[in-house]
Amino acid sequence: MSIFDKLTAQLKANPKTIVLPDGPDPRVMNAAERLSQEDVLKVILIGTEEEFAKGASEGGYNLSKCEIIDPLNYDGMEEMVKTFVELRKGKVTEEEAKKMLSAGNYFGTMLVKMGKADCLLGGATYSTADTVRPALQLIKTKPGAHLVSSSFILIRGDERIAMGDCAINISYEDDVDADGNVVLSAADKLAEVAVETARTAQVFDIDPKVAVLSFSTKGSGKGATVQLSHDATIKAQELAPDLAIDGELQFDAAVSMEVAKTKCQGSPVAGQANTFIFPCIEAGNIGYKIAQRLGGYAAYGPILQGLNAPINDLSRGCDADEIYYMSIITAALS
């Protein structure tokens, strides 16, 4: 049984509702038909009955099992607007809130916030910023989380690995108060990414062996990012003593047992890592795309981490298959 067969079986046994807020896009309708007709998920589509009827007719999609909600004719809009204004703590008026909620990204996120749906997958037509911003403003980070991060799950045959953060956090800097005191260090942030990525990996039946990566292995090199990876490793180990986490490690030491024996013998991770944490977005984004394009891995993500509810983002260049599988992933996290 593949991991997606397993996740699908779990969802059929414990039904979830997902919001797809991108409107009558053919790719969205294709995925929505498959998800709903196969009884994998309950699907809410955002838009008018007329535009979905037209799109379904033109594309031959069966959306009979999907719920279609038009924000402009939503019976619960008054309650939603009131809740929205309360959540934004006076930063928007009711008139401004109603205008914002006419857009699928904000409206769909509020459906999740108000318990009308379990999760949301957007980005087929919205930018990453337009998908993530409502989540940060309305869903917010879960207790104990200080930032939102992302991971990718990469699958090749029976192999599965996780990588983070490859899409959200450009770099890691200390947060300081008005007096210049560090209230949240860069290492704290990277450590949180490491633990969250390991927890995501566990959803996909990966027993995480977490390598905090660098161009240095155990002090062989010097530099700011080396210290960041070193310090983040220690903090991640403190945050999650149940996980196998080590660093700082070069990639060859992380995956090659032969190299590991030379560079860091006795490490619980080196030579067998399957969860890789990058010290900046450049390394992470390049790394997962090398694995995808040259390594032959199918890449699923970005999977957003640290939020109170699963909200995930798509590339605007995605196809219907990506929406289908990312919907399953998103719902499995709820």
SS3 assignment, position 37:
helix
Helices (H), the chain: 3-13, 26-37, 49-59, 77-87, 94-100, 104-113, 128-134, 186-203, 224-239, 251-255, 257-263, 281-293, 320-332
Q: How long is the chain?
A: 334
Please give the biggest Cα pair distance in the chain. 66
Query: How far is Cα of residue 262 from the mean position of the Cα atoms in its chain?
Result: 35
Residue 287: name the closest of 199, 211, 192 by CA.
Answer: 211
Which residues have CB under 8 Å from 211's CB, separation 6+?
Answer: 246, 247, 249, 251, 254, 269, 270, 273, 275, 276, 277
The pTM assigned to this predicted structure is: 0.89
Question: What integer is the mean pLDDT of 128-149?
Answer: 90
Residues of the chain with CATH 3.40.50.10950: 1-140+307-334
Query: Over the stretch 44-69, which tens digit does the pLDDT of each residue have?
Result: 999 999 999 999 999 999 999 999 99
CA–CA separation, 296 and 156 (whole Å): 7
Alpha-carbon distances, residue 316 vs 68, 122, 151, 240, 319 (angstroms)? 22, 9, 18, 35, 9
Enumerate the β-bridge partners of residue 67.
44
Residues of the chain with CATH 3.40.50.10750: 145-306
- Residue written as token pair 């104990």: 144
- pLDDT for position 139: 93
Given a contact cutoff of 8 angstroms between Cβ atoms, the answer to whether 44 and 117 are in contact is yes
Given a contact cutoff of 8 angstroms between Cβ atoms, the answer to whether 162 and 152 are in contact is yes
Question: What integer is the mean pLDDT of 248-269?
Answer: 94
SS3 assignment, position 243:
coil
Alpha-carbon distances, residue 6 vs 3, 13, 36, 191 (angstroms)? 5, 11, 17, 30
CATH class of the structural domain 145-306: alpha beta
pLDDT at residue 74 above 80? yes
How does DSSP assign 180-239, residue by residue?
S-EEE-HHHHHHHHHHHHHHHHHHTT---EEEEE-SSSTTSS-SHHHHHHHHHHHHHHHH
pLDDT at residue 1 above 70? no
Kindly calculate the radius of gyration of the chain based on its CA atoms and give it in whole angstroms.
21
Query: Over the stretch 86-127, which tens digit does the pLDDT of each residue have?
Result: 999 878 899 999 999 999 999 999 999 999 999 999 988 888
Given a contact cutoff of 8 angstroms between Cβ atoms, the answer to whether 23 and 319 are in contact is no
What's the CATH architecture for 1-140+307-334?
3-Layer(aba) Sandwich (3.40)
